[in-house]
A and B are shown apart, each in its own frame.
Chain A
Amino acid sequence: MALTGIQILKMLPKKNCGECGIPTCLAFAMKVAAGQIEIEKCPYVSDEAKATIGEASAPPIRTIKLGAGDSAFTTGGETCMFRHEKRFENPTGIAVLVGTDMSEADIDGRIKRFKELRYERVGVLMKARLIAVKDSDGDQGKFIALVKKVLAGADDAGLILMSGKVDNLAEGAKACGERKPLLYGATADNASAMAAMAKETGCPLGIRGANLDDTITISEKLLAEGLKDLVIDTGARTMKAALEDNIVSRRAAIKTKFKPLGFPLISFPCEMTDDIMMEAMIASVLIAKYSGIVVLSDLQGDILFPLLLEQLNIFTDPQRPMVVQEDVYAINGPAENAPVLITCNFSLTYFIVSGEIEGSKVPSWLLIKDTEGLSVLTAWAAGKFGADLIAGFIKKSGILDKVKHRELIIPGYLASIKGELEEELPEWTIVIGPREAGHLPAFLKEWKPAA
Chain B
Amino acid sequence: KAAEEAKKAAEAKAADEAKKAAAVKAAEEAKKAAEVKAAEEAKKVVETKAAEPPRTVAPAGDVAVAELAVEKTPFADRAKKVPAASYQVKYTGKIKDTALGSGGKTVKIGGETSMPFHLFEGTMPNKPLIAMDVLDVKPEEWPESLTRHFDGVLDNPLAWARKCIEEYQAEAICLSMVSTDPNGMNRNASEAAKIVAEVINNIDVPTIVWGCGNADKDTETLREITSLTGDRKVCLAPLSDSNYRSLGATAMAFQNPMVAASPIDVNLAKQLNILLENLGVSLNSILMDPSIGALGYGIEYTYSVMERIRLAALTQQDEKLQVPIICNLGREVWKAKECRLPSDALLGDKERRGVMMEAITATCMLLAGGEVLIMRHPKAINLTKSLINSLIS
Contacts and interface: CB of A to CB of B under 8 A. Distances in A.
A256 interface: yes
A177 to B, nearest CB: 29
B300 A314 contact: yes
B192 interface: no
B277 interface: no
A260 to B, nearest CB: 8
Contact of B367 (A119, A258, A288): A288
Contacts of A313: 295-296, 299-300, 303
A101 B52 CA distance: 9
Contact of A252 (B5, B87, B298, B335): B87
A90 interface: no
Interface stretch (B61-69, B93-101, B153-161, B197-205): B61-69
Contacts of B360: 280-281, 284, 306-307, 309-310
Given A243-B117, A301-B345, A274 B66 contact: yes
A411 B120 CA distance: 48
Interface in A276-302: 276-278, 280-282, 284-285, 288-289, 297-298, 300-302
Contacts of A101: 52
A213 interface: yes
B53 A275 contact: no
A292 B120 CA distance: 22
A122 B119 CA distance: 37
Given A251-B89, A305-B353, A211 B73 contact: yes
B48 A274 contact: yes
Nearest to B349: A302
A186 B66 CA distance: 32
Interface string A221-245: 0000000000000001111110111
Give the interface size class of chain B: 35 or more
B340 interface: yes
Nearest to A99: B52
B363 A248 contact: no
B359 interface: yes
A314 B303 contact: yes
Contacts of B66: 273-275, 278
Interface stretch (A17-25, A68-76, A102-110, A162-170): A102-110
A277 B367 CA distance: 18
Interface in B47-106: 48-50, 52-58, 65-66, 68-71, 73, 75, 78-83, 85-87, 89
B78 A318 contact: no
A297 B295 CA distance: 23
Given A256-B85, A302-B348, A310-B360, A244 B390 contact: no
Given A117-B346, A280-B360, A310-B364, 12 more contacts: A82-B304, A217-B81, A247-B87, A248-B120, A273-B69, A274-B55, A277-B65, A282-B68, A297-B52, A305-B338, A309-B295, A310-B360
- Across the A-B interface, give the 5 residue pairs with the lowest CB-CB distance, nearest first: A302-B348, A301-B348, A275-B66, A302-B353, A106-B53
Interface of A: 82-84, 99, 101-103, 105-106, 109, 116-117, 119, 121, 211-213, 216-217, 236-241, 243-245, 247-249, 251-252, 255-256, 258, 261, 272-278, 280-282, 284-285, 288-289, 297-298, 300-307, 309-310, 312-314, 316, 318, 348, 352, 375, 378, 381, 415, 436-438
Interface of B: 5, 8, 28, 48-50, 52-58, 65-66, 68-71, 73, 75, 78-83, 85-87, 89, 117-120, 183, 263, 295-300, 303-304, 307-308, 311, 335, 337-338, 340, 343-350, 352-353, 355-357, 359-360, 363-364, 367, 379, 383-384, 386-387, 390-393
